[in-house]
Amino acid sequence: MKQCLLFLAFLILGSFSSNAQLKFGITGGIDYSKTNIHRSYQDDFGILGKAAYHFGLSAAYQVNEKVYFTADLLFAKRGFSQPNSQETTGNDFLTHRVSDINVSVNYIEIPVLSEFKVKFDKMNVLFGVGPYIAYGIGGKINLNIESGSNTANFSDKIYWSKFDWIRNANLNESIVYNLGQANIQRFDYGPVVRFGIEYNSFALNAEYQYGIANLMYEWSKYESMHNQSLGLSVKYLFSLKKL
């Protein structure tokens, strides 16, 4: 599936390559990433965002002086933190408390936007809107597990299956599994809104995206997990006519 996403991205970028109205370049920036989580059986208050980043390739196709189509192929880091303690159970059927939860998830992300530009003498102001799709390629969860008077730190990778490692899980693994934040769905998608300022070949963009895909494997009807991020990025584009 990862190969299919990469093929789709390069197909989008390559489909413009024979046209002189194509611009191609690089982009990167910082994000404030957060995850909205709701579960029926655990306390999800106190979830905080965390600093993240993204970088990759970018292409823009000029339809006319005011309308562009843009597509990016990005490596994007997402995640959240939750310092508050909460209760969960392990394979010993006893209640334990977990705290200082820190989750990082890595994605290959493809946003495709329609951009509308207002031209001024020395710069352009742009507004863009469109969808994104993302494919999870890795991640990590780190937390503290409190059992009686003992506290231990535990970390493990993100699993993309509802039932991975539960059958042979040790105590710490089963506690993290029951927490529900290490076993998530791989695909994410949703809308992106972009506002930016363009000067010559450079653009400074502010972006907001919200994942409408439910990343959580639901145990009950109303459980959900959604990514969201607010980012600031710099983009450099050049015309293929200059090559």
Average pLDDT, the chain: 82
By residue count, the chain amounts to 243
Q: Per-residue pLDDT for 53 more than 50?
A: yes
pLDDT at residue 220 in the model: 57
pLDDT at residue 16 in the model: 47
pLDDT at residue 150 in the model: 78
pLDDT digits (tens, 9 = 90+) for 138-180: 999 898 888 767 778 888 888 887 765 555 556 666 767 767 6
Whole-prediction pTM:
0.82
pLDDT at residue 166 in the model: 52
Architecture of domain 2-242: Beta Barrel (2.40)
Cα–Cα distance measured from residue 26 to residue 72, given in angstroms and rounded to the nearest whole number: 9
Q: For residue 18, what pLDDT band results from cuts at 50, 70 and 90?
A: very low
Long-range contacts of 193-197 (CB under 8 A, 24+ apart): 193/128, 193/129, 194/113, 194/115, 194/126, 194/127, 194/128, 194/129, 195/126, 195/127, 195/128, 196/125, 196/126, 196/128, 196/235, 197/123, 197/124, 197/125, 197/126
Higher model confidence: residue 200 or residue 161?
200
pLDDT at residue 92 in the model: 61
Domain ranges of the chain: 2-242
Q: For residue 17, what pLDDT band results from cuts at 50, 70 and 90?
A: very low
Q: Per-residue pLDDT for 193 more than 70?
A: yes
Q: Per-residue pLDDT for 127 more than 70?
A: yes
Q: Per-residue pLDDT for 28 more than 50?
A: yes
Averaged pLDDT, 202-231: 88
Contacts of 243 (CB under 8 A, 6+ apart): none
Higher model confidence: residue 32 or residue 39?
32
Least confident segment among 102-106, 125-129, 190-194, 222-226: 222-226
Higher model confidence: residue 5 or residue 223?
223
pLDDT digits (tens, 9 = 90+) for 68-90: 999 999 999 999 998 876 767 66
Q: Per-residue pLDDT for 23 more than 70?
A: yes
pLDDT at residue 143 in the model: 86
Averaged pLDDT, 86-99: 69
